[in-house]
Structure 1
């Protein structure tokens, strides 16, 4: 191969190959995919996170041209929204008029309006009624009037170009091989035999093993054996061999990443976790493009002509159906009018139409929210409450908070679920450290549980884990797997029957037995600073850090005065059984885990006398009788479970008793409202609380809860702005008082942290709804957990990055999640919003380019849309 390249494969007018920085090209190309972490620590990240420098519409066009992917809601979703009254026609008309005003039209405005309005309302051509032969004949006559292409052609991989020529199933064949090698290399727990040579890196391991792959012909295996030992050298050679122009190398890499965005995303995530894996993406492309070259080599050179022309037939058909212009009438038009009509039909394409429909839908929702928020604003009540609860901003907290506030003299606050603590956590008896903070941040401290009486607990926990590990090992061993059914059959049969027919009782009994046998002792947290080795996270916090994090947390949640006798910091998590996506239902701000640990850490820090003294010097005075406790809101059960309750003062004890009395009713009411939204509610609604528990314990349940489906807005403001509103569990609620934020630092922190996490969640649900085959993960019932890191459909698909069908769809035909881009509403004077936009370039770019929508409510109660 090397001698052939030296003789024949020289690029014309290309830079010297030594000047080509493959690492930078690979890094730039990887922006078209998003990092994908393991499913057991599911962290929301929208798939276009690195593409926000261009507008949403530009991104939509690029994906349509590159991989025929639509990222606007399809006609079925839009039609369903129209039928439900979710789109106000007045907003659609305004959007249309704005679009037309930006166009340079050579037609009467009335003619253009009539054509576009009809196109919007029909949106699909009924081609069966159109004279096809007449259209083709007229298109040939008008060929010289073809509009110019507005974008450059999309770069395709050789495999894609071969398929377009009808020469086999090249893309599928290449993907089949790549999926196999990615599964082997990335496996964390499932494979009985680990991939040989894996420590040498992806490319080197593949090169050594591919020579013995029986799925490849002898000729192909021989060619692979001649490849260079280093990935960058191999990648350079195949680029030369394929004669990829230098100007198209990055585009070519992007096309390959988009062929398997899931596996590529997992490799991207791995490459970001350690410098040892920094060249993993280059290895991946070296393997993939090398495989492509040997597979398509027999078909080279390709003789296809790239078609950059715009087809006139659909444009003529559009005018025939939407513009009431018969095909024969084109012969009577002037040249300028022909050009103008064709240009309008070309510009007002499906992407523009769907964009206008989506924006009208979003404006309708914004208007509804505006009316709801401004219709009633109660006076500020500074009376001291009996108890205060701090919940995560998660949309599922809104319903529970609403019920809780009506149940007693209680006040609730909303803040990011990790409570501003940049920590990694380690629970008692575990050697695993979990990064309990949003993926955009890195932990600065480690907090562990410990207990002087943990010896027996840890022994029993180790026994449980050893038993499970032994069982798993026996399942995969050839000899032991033959006798395993005889040993485990009776017990597993009883468990299967119990979990299948009485899941609620079985789950509750098994949990109680496990907890009783383990008998976890009371624990303390490592809150005080302990010196550690260099490059190791420090354990605990110094006093200065303790005061800093508590002050920051209290300011971010807006709780700096008028403290109640009892303040409950509420983390949240979910509980479900046999659910690969269980971490996707936990706290999005805590890396796919319950935020109860963070809640306990913050509550314990707030109770420290030295911390309170430090806060007093900065004007935050916590009364001596105020006690902080920690609890966990279990969203799939609609329960609030206390995790940490220190010694209570008299008033705090009174508050605690009132809470315990109120919680059962709150839980029942919350369950009744939430369960009614599930498709199966009719069969379980006789007792909604029992239904919630059954859904959480049923191992055949594909939809234990809706999670964050239907999320649509993020409100940054005082609780009294929303406390009398039923927001239907669709809104992230972050407390904020602009009067306590003179320099705007708190608002800036909310925008760069919680609002960004909410946007990622929002667009992940959006993508899983509008492009479920590409960004979702399909039907749960046909998923396969693979390599211990994610799920596939069947045994040879892309690693699926998004949410399952059951998380966004009500049925096979009807979507439950409404794919609207997140609306951020800020309750503050307009100069505060202007300051944020001026100082936070990334946020301003999101607003300008349509990745997020922005509105504000000023001190006079006036609403302003900024997007």
Structure 2
């Protein structure tokens, strides 16, 4: 039914259609429509985002079908990915055959079972149908004579923006022109620091500023500008007006807005994120849609009315019949001898067992193979406990998958115990570095900071430090100002050319030496003094956050962190190291994505230092003792940072140590070169071009970190596949290949189940987001990834585009997930959560946490458990 017919019918039912249209709650509709996009953070504070977070009430398979129908986006792994995984032993075909049998058992069909199985098994080889068969004249003639299949029953339709149906005389689609207009306006409004001149009237909001300026836009014709001259002053009214003029039925408004949001999901996602940050911009997504659809109305007006606004895709009968001939062994003679009913059954069966379903079965077989291989490692491998001697040190690392190989190498070298915990260590803080007036959240983006912690020194030292830092910043600011000034920019090449040329040559040919020289020069000039942290509560508030902690809060956060680490009843080692993590790379827009995938690019060192300080406070230890946690007097907490790009441990807080703690510290220092070398060798061997044994892994890792032309300084969290919640003994000595998030958990100390619930709600959610970010960037890189780093353009200080007018790219670049142009590195499997606990603990979790249960039931995560007797269960 076309738009005109729909409107005619509505007018018959209601004579006052326009009045009802104006009375609709457009903001509520926009809020519902926003489920199809996800908030997009600026790339400088990159955080993993689940692109389907608003769609989890639907099953993964339903969303896959919907995306294919509406945007032609395929979120199942491609045939080439599946073949590659099979050749590497990542898919056991036995699980694929089991998946096929399950499907056949649960889907009715009226053809012989052996015939159906033979067809499906051949189709599951994922071969293409021969082009010669598809173009066969006999085949086409047989199809033309067939009229027994009801096309309406297998027809897919979706509503799209009206501009997607209109082409100009040169063949360019109107929606592409619309997108270019919207990208331009988004860039000038959202720009943070790149542009020298800001958008006029920006303080009035996006829509109002656009409305003021659109009359002077030379990219629009005079007639188009005239159409928008008396446009409404308020965004909701403008949006309703445009929808009304284009005669979008009220029942289709949400679908129509969803289509526009999905057209540029990156820019729309940035608008959604900004709308959630401050009350000043809470209506920004409404502004965005008002601008976009107002522009669409101005562009499309000469082409109205359009006869049909729905896209309809019909299955090809030729393809269905060809599939039976190629995979089912059917001949045209056999086909012609069938009754119309039989022909209908055969074609309907081929339609049901389509390409999406075949790759879905392979994906599930891939995932089941991973589950089986992991269970073999965790359950059936007999291991002897190596902790026969007393533990010399306990080291708490972030659950980040890159910690797993480093922890394993560390444990090989001595009597050390490693612990997994979320890398913000349970401290909901915003941090402020010495001399900075600004702070940034240092916790997962799903949480909000409750306290501000700042570095400080005495006033005299601070003044000297700020003067030195100001001198460096002034030089940088002067350079930027000159670049953006019309006259000064003419002199800039003459003034800066020699120095920048020398810097370019040095960084290109001797990157390690050049960056070490620049880094040392900066550090020796600035000379940052030793600082303290403002852990004590202060009465004044900064940015609406209290500075420091009260005495009760100090005790509470320390107690919570020790519980999560399982250090409540366990004997403390003389040295406890709280290890944050960070990354190191040069000239990399995605540098923050290599920091913490959960915390918006924030490194974990600040939090580690704060927690270690808290646990050393005498008053905190006395409070912990009253709660039954006895920390020996000679046990000292220190803080360090694991540099993931070079696999080194950097100390950031080491107080006066006891004799026993000093012995442990010296031992760690002694073995660290070996640990670093082995961890680097294991990690670098996975990078392209490093198949042979490296003579000096540490030097090569440092080169990757310092080379400004290096597009892949490390793999980041690629190949992440599981989140294991249990005691370290469960995974001790297991080579998990850097694919597992590891969180300590002892069910015996969690009678209420609250600890497990918190782990699932916090780290579990973040791990799932990271997993689906990598999954989406791998299976649909053109829509959910960000393309090739070498051709990206950093724009508006917000993110990257391909070229100068594309969507704001939302995901990871090819270099983060691809081994080469044709070979993937990341294995696109959905996260497997493994819980070491009795089954009743998992049942209670699912009963109490409806959100998590929904994710499991709808296929967004997989869930398994290991009970105390070592039995594995898939939920």
Task: State whether residues 22 and 240 of structure 2, in contact with CA within 8 Å, keep that contact through their aligned partners in structure 1.
Answer: no
TM superposition shift of 1:75: 1.2
Task: State whether residues 636 and 692 of structure 1, in contact with CA within 8 Å, keep that contact through their aligned partners in structure 2.
Answer: yes
d(CA) in 1 for partners of 2:119 and 2:593?
A: 45
User: 5+ unaligned residues in a row in structure 1: which ranges?
Assistant: 1-6
Question: Deviations along 1:38-71, whole A, 9 cap, x unmatched?
Answer: 1000011111111111111100000000010001
Question: Deviations along 1:172-200, whole A, 9 cap, x unmatched?
Answer: 11111110000001000011110011111
1:315 aligns with 2:320: yes
TM superposition shift of 1:330: 2.6
1:490 aligns with 2:512: no
d(CA) in 2 for partners of 1:486 and 1:166?
A: 45
TM superposition shift of 1:516: 1.4
Question: Deviations along 1:498-555, whole A, 9 cap, x unmatched?
Answer: 1111101111121112111111111111111112349711111111111111111111
Task: State whether residues 37 and 266 of structure 1, in contact with CA within 8 Å, keep that contact through their aligned partners in structure 2.
Answer: yes
d(CA) in 2 for partners of 1:8 and 1:88?
A: 57
Q: CA 1:665–1:771 in structure 2 vs 1: closer, same or farther (change >3 Å)?
A: same
TM superposition shift of 1:204: 1.1
2:451 corresponds to which residue?
A: 445
1:36 aligns with 2:45: no
1:709 to 718, 722, 728: 718
1:473 corresponds to which residue?
A: 481
d(CA) in 1 for partners of 2:677 and 2:64?
A: 44
1:407 corresponds to which residue?
A: 413
Per the alignment, in what secondary structure is the counterpart of residue 218 of structure 2? coil
Per the alignment, in what secondary structure is the counterpart of residue 257 of structure 1? helix
Task: State whether residues 271 and 284 of structure 2, in contact with CA within 8 Å, keep that contact through their aligned partners in structure 1.
Answer: yes
1:397 aligns with 2:406: no
Task: State whether residues 56 and 850 of structure 1, in contact with CA within 8 Å, keep that contact through their aligned partners in structure 2.
Answer: yes
TM superposition shift of 1:445: 0.6
User: 5+ unaligned residues in a row in structure 2: which ranges?
Assistant: 1-6
Per the alignment, in what secondary structure is the counterpart of residue 157 of structure 2? coil
d(CA) in 1 for partners of 2:845 and 2:590?
A: 35
Question: Deviations along 1:799-844, whole A, 9 cap, x unmatched?
Answer: 0111111111111111111111111111111111111111111111
Using structure 2 for the length normalisation, give the TM-score.
Answer: 0.96
2:291 corresponds to which residue?
A: 287
1:685 aligns with 2:694: yes
1:457 corresponds to which residue?
A: 465
1:331 to 317, 333, 336: 336
Q: CA 1:274–1:579 in structure 2 vs 1: closer, same or farther (change >3 Å)?
A: same
Task: State whether residues 387 and 655 of structure 1, in contact with CA within 8 Å, keep that contact through their aligned partners in structure 2.
Answer: yes
d(CA) in 1 for partners of 2:123 and 2:8?
A: 53
2:204 to 179, 195, 200: 200
1:697 aligns with 2:703: no
Per the alignment, in what secondary structure is the counterpart of residue 638 of structure 2? strand
Question: Deviations along 1:420-452, whole A, 9 cap, x unmatched?
Answer: 111111010212211111111111111100011
2:673 to 664, 667, 670: 664
TM superposition shift of 1:138: 2.8
1:241 aligns with 2:250: no
Question: Deviations along 1:352-406, whole A, 9 cap, x unmatched?
Answer: 1111000101111111111111212444958531111000000100011011111
d(CA) in 2 for partners of 1:450 and 1:535?
A: 18
Question: Deviations along 1:213-266, whole A, 9 cap, x unmatched?
Answer: 111111111111121111111111111111111111111101100100000000
Per the alignment, in what secondary structure is the counterpart of residue 137 of structure 2? helix
Task: State whether residues 390 and 415 of structure 2, in contact with CA within 8 Å, keep that contact through their aligned partners in structure 1.
Answer: no
1:84 aligns with 2:93: no
1:557 to 542, 565, 590: 565
Per the alignment, in what secondary structure is the counterpart of residue 733 of structure 2? coil
TM superposition shift of 1:457: 1.1
Task: State whether residues 146 and 310 of structure 1, in contact with CA within 8 Å, keep that contact through their aligned partners in structure 2.
Answer: no
2:546 corresponds to which residue?
A: 538
d(CA) in 2 for partners of 1:279 and 1:10?
A: 30
1:647 to 656, 661, 665: 656
d(CA) in 2 for partners of 1:128 and 1:616?
A: 80
TM superposition shift of 1:685: 2.9
d(CA) in 1 for partners of 2:494 and 2:84?
A: 53
Per mean C-alpha deviation after superposition, the further-off stretch among 263-272 and 330-339 is 330-339
TM superposition shift of 1:307: 3.5
Per mean C-alpha deviation after superposition, the further-off stretch among 323-332 and 9-18 is 9-18
1:821 corresponds to which residue?
A: 830
1:387 corresponds to which residue?
A: 393
2:367 to 342, 347, 362: 362
d(CA) in 2 for partners of 1:167 and 1:372?
A: 58
2:510 corresponds to which residue?
A: 502
Task: State whether residues 380 and 720 of structure 1, in contact with CA within 8 Å, keep that contact through their aligned partners in structure 2.
Answer: no
d(CA) in 2 for partners of 1:379 and 1:300?
A: 76
1:4 corresponds to which residue?
A: none
Per mean C-alpha deviation after superposition, the further-off stretch among 391-400 and 669-678 is 669-678
2:440 corresponds to which residue?
A: 434
d(CA) in 2 for partners of 1:208 and 1:11?
A: 35
Question: Deviations along 1:772-808, whole A, 9 cap, x unmatched?
Answer: 1111111111111100011111111100111111111
Task: State whether residues 148 and 310 of structure 1, in contact with CA within 8 Å, keep that contact through their aligned partners in structure 2.
Answer: no
1:171 corresponds to which residue?
A: 175
TM superposition shift of 1:465: 1.4
2:4 corresponds to which residue?
A: none
Q: CA 1:9–1:789 in structure 2 vs 1: closer, same or farther (change >3 Å)?
A: farther
Using structure 1 for the length normalisation, give the TM-score.
Answer: 0.97
Task: State whether residues 146 and 312 of structure 1, in contact with CA within 8 Å, keep that contact through their aligned partners in structure 2.
Answer: no
1:217 corresponds to which residue?
A: 221
1:340 aligns with 2:348: no
2:594 corresponds to which residue?
A: 585
Per the alignment, in what secondary structure is the counterpart of residue 154 of structure 1? strand
Per the alignment, in what secondary structure is the counterpart of residue 680 of structure 1? coil
2:254 corresponds to which residue?
A: 250
Task: State whether residues 148 and 341 of structure 2, in contact with CA within 8 Å, keep that contact through their aligned partners in structure 1.
Answer: no
Task: State whether residues 30 and 254 of structure 1, in contact with CA within 8 Å, keep that contact through their aligned partners in structure 2.
Answer: yes
Per mean C-alpha deviation after superposition, the further-off stretch among 320-329 and 208-217 is 320-329
1:48 corresponds to which residue?
A: 52
Per the alignment, in what secondary structure is the counterpart of residue 424 of structure 2? coil
1:186 aligns with 2:194: no
1:794 to 803, 816, 824: 803
1:421 aligns with 2:427: yes
2:232 corresponds to which residue?
A: 228
Task: State whether residues 418 and 598 of structure 1, in contact with CA within 8 Å, keep that contact through their aligned partners in structure 2.
Answer: yes
d(CA) in 1 for partners of 2:169 and 2:248?
A: 19
Task: State whether residues 784 and 792 of structure 1, in contact with CA within 8 Å, keep that contact through their aligned partners in structure 2.
Answer: yes
Aligned length: 860
Per mean C-alpha deviation after superposition, the further-off stretch among 847-856 and 316-325 is 316-325
d(CA) in 1 for partners of 2:36 and 2:520?
A: 47
1:737 aligns with 2:743: no
d(CA) in 1 for partners of 2:315 and 2:689?
A: 48
Task: State whether residues 79 and 126 of structure 2, in contact with CA within 8 Å, keep that contact through their aligned partners in structure 1.
Answer: no
Q: CA 1:186–1:231 in structure 2 vs 1: closer, same or farther (change >3 Å)?
A: same
TM superposition shift of 1:614: 1.0
Task: State whether residues 629 and 644 of structure 1, in contact with CA within 8 Å, keep that contact through their aligned partners in structure 2.
Answer: yes
d(CA) in 1 for partners of 2:90 and 2:699?
A: 33
Task: State whether residues 122 and 328 of structure 2, in contact with CA within 8 Å, keep that contact through their aligned partners in structure 1.
Answer: yes
Task: State whether residues 231 and 238 of structure 2, in contact with CA within 8 Å, keep that contact through their aligned partners in structure 1.
Answer: yes
d(CA) in 2 for partners of 1:697 and 1:684?
A: 21
1:116 to 112, 117, 120: 120
